[in-house]
Amino acid sequence: MSTLDADIQAVASLKEQAGSSWDAINPESAARMRAQNKFKTGLDIAKYTADIMRADMAAFDKDKTKYTQSLGCWHGFIGQQKMISIKKHFNGKTDRRYLYLSGWMVAALRSSFGPLPDQSMHEKTVVADLVRELYTFLRQADARELGGLFRALDAAREAGDKAEEAKIQDQIDNHVTHVVPIVADIDAGFGNAEATYLMAKQMIEAGACCLQIENQVADEKQCGHQDGKVTVPHADFHTKLRALRYAFLELGVDNGVIVARTDSEGAGLTKEIAVVKQPGDQGDVYNSFLDVEEIDVADMAEGDVCFNRNGKLVRPKRLPSGLYQFREGTGHERCVFDCIEAINAGADLLWIETAVPTVHEIKGMMDEVRKVHPDAKLVYNNSPSFNWTLNFRQQTFDTWTAEGKDVSAYDRANLMSAEYDETELAAVADARIKTFQADTAREANVFHHLITLPTYHTAALSTDNLAKEYFGEQGMLGYVAGVQRKEIRQGIACVKHQNMSGSDMGDDHKEYYAGELALKAGGAKNTSNQFN
């Protein structure tokens, strides 16, 4: 018996108990509404999606081709359209395809203060609000899709087409939800460990099964691809990792996933000298990366901060801001140390920010981490902050140079130029970009590939193209040829925007409530019929 049939029987039983006052209640209509609202709460979603992520992680451990992917989405509609598109193009499946919630896009697009830089200055609760919004739109996508199937089922029944009825019933019984895991950015925790815990609870209650947190100073956090990053000692960061775990456990999401991000590769500063309890401990290793000079007590100036290192008095280099400086060239070592210790502290996945996207650099750091934690898995930011075209053309240029191949036809500094687009070098570089995710999954154990801000850029690009044409010589043809005609021919569901906004579902409900008295919007005079 299908879930739908079971619900029909359950509601029919309730109707029988209620008596004549429920005469107008149709058990099948109520069962359909239940099916369209599979997930009742955000915690239902968090538990469901956490199980998906854990299963995907286990599958990846066995087969490195089974990496996962996501795109950053800054609005519920964007996330919804992404998942509708995925189901359309990939045989109705959503396997290993997630959503990413970017703190950068929250700051730039969702704050009531207006556009802000990625420095945690936006309202804390807007992140949980976006998680909730994304899942509201994904649940609506389920309801809309099932509503279409229910109407098709009714039509098949009315036509007496038993084969079509059975086919549609099977699609209903085996419906694939649009609800998928969200990897949600909690920045550096938005304050101290208690603030991190409180914010994590809101995000989990909204549906987030996976929280990504970074090891920067919470009140001086910077985008991972900008300068001025300041990290914290491991004791501080691990306190927040434990706060996340307690939030998951308190809310019953026992499979919740924590991503520990290190910005150490590009961070040359720390706000604190770590506490050392015994030689060789976390604090001692952290301090060993500081840029220091050996001094005598007599050399100490008023207000100097000094400490003992191996029996010698050393003074760390301190900036006018009071921040301490790490030694140049220690970024990779610090990243490896951060990753090992984060897993020791309970992180499930790692995130390393790099300056450029190169397979060998990511692999080099992960090889060191996996000497200690063989199953350590990485989340990698395929960031729009990288100039992918220039980077991979230069990498190809350098490879060819090392191999002794003639590169005299190319200007390395100018390889972004369109004049190189049809060259062999450009083709090889593009091939490397195309396989980058598969290559790093295989070579560096990258489990999840995401692009943080893609829909920010696509919105800007498509709006620019439309504005250029519509307000220019093309006029209305700029919209028709550039948007609507493509929507129709590509089968974009949004071409029927009334349906996408829920108009047909509203008609269904009107019919449930009022029967033949229902005043429905989807009649013969509805202009959306032009798109049937």
- At 101-114, the pLDDT tens digits run 999 999 999 999 98
The tokens describing 128, both together, are 């949980």
> Rounded to the nearest 5°, which phi and psi values hold at 117?
-70, 165
Contact present, 182 and 78 (Cβ < 8 Å): no
Round to whole Å and give the CA distance between 413 and 405: 18
Round to whole Å and give the CA distance between 418 and 215: 39
pLDDT score recorded for residue 374: 97
**Token pair 């060259």 in the structure block, residue:** 423
Of the candidates 82, 207, 98, 203, which has an alpha carbon nearest to the alpha carbon of residue 447? 98
Residues 372-417: pLDDT tens digits? 999 999 999 999 999 999 999 999 999 999 999 999 999 999 999 9
- Residues identified as active-site: 223
CA geometry: angle at 352 spanning 348 and 355, to 5°? Answer: 170
Dihedral, 9, 11, 13, 19 alpha carbons, nearest 10: -150
Round to whole Å and give the CA distance between 499 and 354: 43
Instruction: Please report, as a single letter, which amino acid is at residue 350.
Output: L
Round to whole Å and give the CA distance between 33 and 35: 5
Of the candidates 240, 235, 168, which has an alpha carbon nearest to the alpha carbon of residue 211? 240
Q: Give, for all 532 residues of the chain, the pLDDT tens digit.
A: 788 899 999 999 999 999 999 999 999 999 999 999 999 999 999 999 999 999 999 999 999 999 999 999 999 999 999 999 999 999 999 999 999 999 999 999 999 998 887 777 788 899 999 999 999 999 999 999 999 999 999 999 999 999 999 999 999 999 999 999 999 999 999 999 999 999 999 999 999 999 999 998 776 655 545 556 788 989 999 999 999 999 999 999 999 999 999 988 877 889 889 999 999 999 999 999 999 999 998 888 888 899 998 889 999 999 888 889 999 999 999 999 999 999 999 999 999 988 889 999 999 999 999 999 999 999 999 999 999 999 999 999 999 999 999 999 999 999 999 999 999 999 999 999 999 999 999 999 999 999 999 999 999 999 999 999 999 999 999 999 999 999 999 999 988 888 888 888 888 888 888 887 777 777 777 767 777 7
Round to whole Å and give the CA distance between 12 and 31: 10
pLDDT score recorded for residue 225: 52
